[in-house]
Amino acid sequence: MEQDIRIYVEESPGQRRELAAPTDMGLSLMELLRASGYPIQATCGGMALCATCHVEVLAGPALPDPGDDELDMLATLPVQHEGSRLSCQIRLAPRTDGLVLRLVD
């Protein structure tokens, strides 16, 4: 049985909320954020077609590079950050333990 990992959401400068997440259910970061009460719209259902699950990765382990679909969608955003990612495209796995992110409006 896999152990839970920890994801940290920066809710305001200096204030982070810790979320425990299982890695054995194939969940995306978007699904964890929605289940934790964050206002993620996810209007496309996690297909990388809407960017309503945009987050900024602030720190933590290196993630796999975004795929072409994610890059194309990120390019449509009016504001991008160095760590901009679509949370629907990040799968929770042991390698994501310790990830620190901020939701982007």
pLDDT per position as a tens digit, 64-86 = 999 999 999 999 999 999 999 99
What residues make up the domain containing 69?
Answer: 5-103
For the chain, strand residue ranges (E) read 5-12, 15-21, 54-59, 84-86, 99-103
Average pLDDT across the chain, whole number = 94
The per-residue pLDDT for 86 is 97
Into how many domains does the chain fold? 1
**CATH number for the domain harbouring residue 98:** 3.10.20.30
- Asked if 57 and 101 count as a contact pair (C-beta separation under 8 A), the reply is yes
Cα 13 from Cα 3, distance rounded (Å): 29
Stretches where the chain sits below pLDDT 50 are 1
Pick the closest to residue 22 from 38, 7, 42, 34 (CA basis). 7
Amino acid at 31: E
